[in-house]
Chain A
Amino acid sequence: MKRRHTVPLQRGWLVALLLVLILFLSILLPQLGILNLYLQQVIMYVGINIILTISLNLVNGYMGEFSVGHAGFMAIGAYVSSLLTVLVFPRSLGPFIFPLVLVLGGLAAALAGLMVALPSFKTRGDYLAIVTLAFNMIIKSVLENIDAIGGPRGFMGMSKLTNVAWVYIWVLLTVFAIRNFVFSSYGRGILSIREDEVAAELVSVNTRQAKILAFVISSFFAGVAGGLFAHVLQFINPRSFTILKSTDVLVMVYLGGIGSITGSILGASIYTVLLELLRPLGVWRWVVGPLMLVILMVTRPRGIFGLREARWLIPAEEVQADATATS
């Protein structure tokens, strides 16, 4: 059995180089004024949506659950990170502690994700949808009722710490982490739950552990996205994180295709950009956009890239297994 080192290694170096190049561009282009503020904002929103979509896809696509409250985790990340940068840390430290603050927001959201994972042990499908919806609304309600953080009026004052480079870095981290996770035994365990949960248990998969992992990881990244969101908009209020926002993310997941990171990147990008392109239509863009979605769903129910993955995301060993399988 021959291990083909050369091709994967070369490919690896090439990819890494390309990614670093893009990073430079993401820092440089805004500085040079080549990317105007509007374009920068669109790119940042695309990135934030990519993180949201990939993270939700882990639970809804790979694990086959029906979680409809993703905005709740985003809200927690947004509020926690904002409170930290505005009330806890000195302003001047802002740009330096930004990654830390995002991680803390993500961890807070992950804790909430853990709580949602628990009911998922016993309930599935439509009932889990309602549980996640309830969580979303409860989080929103709780935030509305805490006057110290602004209540229904919202919270503001964040510095604009998010920029294209940071969004890009976090998108990379999300793609890297989740892609690696999915192509591991834990990831396969999660897939098996989607296929047949009972059978999965009966072939040694600890489904409770797998569900916890999926929900916690998913909500962590949603929290990070929330933190990025809060620091580009510089104002957040509970109404930004209702079921409507969750629906947005759901649409991006299923548009791009379940169980596919590439799909999520595509779905998030297309959806965000499309809504921007349709902006001249005014309120009609919310008619045309969803209508296009309906047409897509009816003609291509699995989404653009459902259950498939772009070649360059699949680890070399998985592709290679084919060659060594002959017996």
Chain B
Amino acid sequence: MQFIIQQTLNALQLGSVYALIALGYTMVYGILRMINFAHGDIFMVSTYLGFFGASFLLGHALHLPGAVTFVLTLLVAMLGTSLLAVFIERVAYKPLRQAPRISAVITALGIGLVLENFTLATIGPEPRILPQVIPVINFNLGGVAVSTIQVVILAVSAAVMSILDTIVRKTMTGMAMRAISFDKSVVPLMGVPTDRIISITFALGSSIAAVGGTLYGIAYMIDPYMGIRIGWWAFISAVVGGIGNIRGAMVGGYILGFVEIFVAAFLPSTYRDFVVFALLLVLLVFKPTGIMGMPVVQQKV
């Protein structure tokens, strides 16, 4: 029983990160109908930004309280990542909005490769972990090991997700985002600055991924190629939840976290990929639009 609870905690932790990253995919897809394949690598860059941010803040003997250092690291990562994402959007994606969708996808793949290998070439392939911005204290609750890191990850993720939910549902920007996702051509006619909203979407999605990145970097190792694995996993989370659906991305992230942890707990590690993808296939056969996706509207003839 304790084993189950332990694994559940691990799954929630991992799932939180997947959910945060999945949100970025789903928001961009919702607004542009485009799968931003570079998103996973943007996430990877954010982990390194968190690494360097934390190293800098801790290394300069500023003697700031832990919480402040942590928040500052987050902000550094979020800011840097959003700038990068918006830059990419303006320079590479915007010119392709009228082009065949596939061109944008290839561009995204290319940008991902550039990010991965640039990081590899400049910083090196060695895996790293973020320096301790949060004091690591382990509790033992009735046989289950809980660490401060887990608590922080779960708490911060929950907070970020509810903030995003509020933004999307209650603010004008959020409403504009949802409007654009329904009908991009009409919205500019109503005076909504579509380009600005699109950039905000990219910035928002990437900032959230950066939160996920910093949290990930605190708990696990980071390396330049992690974007591929984690990126694809988060992408699958978004699809499982129903791509384009924000709540779906959150749900999908946790589902994938659970599947991954529990499969690894009971089966040899080489089976993990197989089970995940097999489940994905089964889901897509029965519910092609994902768990919370809208039913496919009959194609208008």
Contact = CB atoms under 8 A, between A and B. Distances in A.
A–B: direct contact at CB < 8 Å: yes
Interface string B76-116: 00000000000000011001100110110111011101101
Contacts of A302: 99-100, 103
Nearest to B119: A287
Contact of A141 (B91, B116, B232, B277): B277
B273 A137 contact: yes
27 contacts: A66-B102, A123-B284, A126-B35, A127-B284, A130-B236, A130-B280, A131-B281, A133-B277, A137-B277, A138-B274, A138-B277, A138-B278, A140-B273, A141-B274, A141-B277, A145-B271, A152-B270, A198-B301, A258-B100, A286-B117, A287-B113, A287-B121, A290-B110, A294-B110, A294-B114, A298-B107, A301-B99
B301 A283 contact: no
A8 interface: no
A298 B232 contact: no
Interface residues of B, number: 43
Contact of B103 (A126, A254, A282, A289): A254
Contacts of A95: none
B288 interface: yes
A289 B29 CA distance: 27
Given A286-B121, A287-B117, 13 more contacts: A142-B274, A145-B271, A145-B274, A258-B102, A286-B117, A287-B114, A287-B121, A290-B110, A293-B106, A293-B110, A294-B110, A298-B95, A301-B99
A217 B118 CA distance: 38
Nearest to A247: B109
A119 B268 CA distance: 29
A127 B288 contact: yes
Contact of B273 (A130, A141, A283, A301): A141
Interface string A281-325: 011101101110110011001100000000000000000000000
A91 B295 CA distance: 56
A137 B29 CA distance: 23
Contact of B110 (A141, A244, A251): A251
Contacts of B273: 137-138, 140-141
A54 interface: no
B288 A141 contact: no
Interface residues of A, number: 45
Given A130-B280, A131-B284, A284 B121 contact: yes
A198 B299 contact: yes
Nearest to A144: B270
A255 B271 CA distance: 35
Contacts of A3: none
A141 B96 contact: no
Contacts of A244: 228
B120 interface: yes
Interface string B9-44: 000000000000000000001000001000000000
Interface of A is mostly: helix
A200 to B, nearest CB: 12
A290 B117 contact: yes
Nearest to B111: A294
5 nearest A-B pairs in the assembled complex, by CB-CB distance: A301-B99, A141-B274, A301-B103, A290-B113, A286-B117
Nearest to A284: B121
Given A119-B285, A131-B284, A137-B277, A294 B92 contact: yes
Nearest to B34: A126
Contacts of B288: 122-123, 127
A176 to B, nearest CB: 27
A290 B114 CA distance: 6
Contacts of B35: 126, 129
Contacts of B280: 130, 134
Interface in A129-157: 129-131, 133-135, 137-138, 140-142, 144-145, 151-152
B180 interface: no
Most central of B35, B91, B102 by chain A CB within 10 Å:
B102
B246 interface: no
Nearest to A118: B285
B142 to A, nearest CB: 37
Contacts of B92: 294, 298
A104 interface: no
A283 B121 contact: yes
B114 A291 contact: yes
Contacts of A293: 106-107, 110
B54 interface: no
A133 B228 CA distance: 13
B114 to A, nearest CB: 5
A71 interface: no
A110 interface: no
Nearest to B239: A130
Nearest to B273: A141
B243 interface: yes
